[in-house]
Amino acid sequence: MSSAMQRQAASSGSDSDPRYANVDERKRKRMISNRESARRSRMRKQKQMEDLVNELTLLQNENGRLRQNINDNTQRYVEMESANSVLRARAMELTERLRSLNSVLQIVEEVSGVFGECCFLRVFGHEVVM
């Protein structure tokens, strides 16, 4: 017997018997309530899924922005590191030049003490009064 026929047989049997009328009414209300509860549950799940998809999109966008920010900062870091290397090399050159000039100055001061105050000395193409 098909399920539709069984339901009809059960329904017609309980329709004629008043004892089952109250039970059938409760069963019908419970079925309606269960359907409504299942519908609400499906709607909640659908809403949760939509919220998760929206959150995923936002996080993917933020992730892309952060990756771009990291790439930009890495590029700036490489450029700054290169510029710093050039500046360090220049500072070393200037430090060595200063050391050399101080050496020459010390020699000039020593020579000026030997020759007196009215001597001229040519140092690196410049006249220096001693």
Return the domain boundaries, the chain.
3-129
Mean pLDDT, range 3-18, rounded to an integer: 54
Confidence of residue 3 (pLDDT cuts 50, 70, 90): low
Q: pLDDT by residue (tens digit) across 77-99?
A: 999 999 999 999 999 999 999 99
Q: Quick check: 26 pLDDT over 70?
A: yes
pTM: 0.51
Q: pLDDT by residue (tens digit) across 96-112?
A: 999 999 999 999 888 87
The span from the CA of 112 to the CA of 126, in Å, is 16
Transcribe 114-129 into DSSP letters: HH-TT-EEEETTEEEE
Residue-level length of the chain: 130
104 within 8 A of 125, measured Cβ to Cβ: no
